[in-house]
Amino acid sequence: MKTKLWGLLILLILFVQGATVLAEELPYPLPDSTCYEGYVYYNKLIGSDDDGGIYLRGRIDFAVYDTEGGNEFEADYGVIGTGRYVYAYQIFNAPEDFSSPVATFAVLGVALGTVDGIGAQEDPEEGVEPYTSSYDEDESRVVWQFADGLYVYESENSWFLVFSSDQSWVPGSYYIAAPEGESDFPAPGVPEPATIALLGLGSVLMFGRRRGIAR
């Protein structure tokens, strides 16, 4: 039992150290939002010991902008869709040789008809442009895919991945995958548009300016 606890403690220390390195080395290009913003880390071993240990590891920045309350994203990057709220995400892959490239990113649990203007905007860090941006009706998700050979590799970041919606945000989940599709996500931590049934919950959760993790 003690051996397992020590193992868990070591893994936690390594994750915190990795997150600290990412926080220190990676920029924050998304415009500040007065509505909601934050970031989450992802860290998952996907390669076997024979591969020497390959990880999906990095950070996802996110922000929600309100066009009726000062749309900071639109001021810098133009109009995205026709919805009141602009949702923006950005992937930063870890600056490590054993980091797997990112091939797919998706926001899950997004109801049909609640989003439009799905796309991507070039960022000031000269990130990687996704090959496709679309709504997956079968999986109820907004998904961005990167082309073979143009994945988000170590030390690289994506363009801003964006869509608009008339629905305000609630806490949601994301999916991120390597080119081979190896991933144990979905994982919680990013905002998504509320469905009609969740609007009451969303209004309770959203008050003033909130952040996932303070910058």
Cβ pair 55, 46 in contact under 8 A = yes
Range of the domain at 173: 2-211
Number of domains in the chain: 1
Half-sphere exposure of 206 (CA within 13 A, CB side): 22
Q: Taking 50 as the threshold, does the pLDDT of residue 196 lie above it? A: no
User: What is the C-alpha separation between 32 and 66, in angstroms, rounded?
Assistant: 12
User: What is the C-alpha separation between 165 and 155, in angstroms, rounded?
Assistant: 31
99-109 pLDDT, tens digit each: 889 999 999 99
User: What is the C-alpha separation between 130 and 128, in angstroms, rounded?
Assistant: 6
pLDDT of residue 215: 36
Q: Which of 17-31, 53-67, 126-140, 183-197 is predicted with the least confidence, judged by mean pLDDT?
A: 17-31
Pairing of strands 36-45, 210-211: parallel
Q: Band of the pLDDT at 175, cuts 50, 70, 90?
A: very high
Q: Taking 60 as the threshold, does the pLDDT of residue 8 lie above it? A: no
Tell me how far apart the terminal alpha carbons of the chain are, to the nearest angstrom: 37
pLDDT of residue 51: 55
pTM of the predicted model over 0.85: no
Q: Tell me the percentage of the chain whose pLDDT exceeds 90.
A: 54
51-88 pLDDT, tens digit each: 567 888 999 999 999 999 878 898 888 888 999 999 99
b/e for 143-171, b at 16 or more Cβ within 10 A?
A: bbbbeeeebbebebbbbbbbbbbebbbbe
Cβ pair 76, 112 in contact under 8 A = no
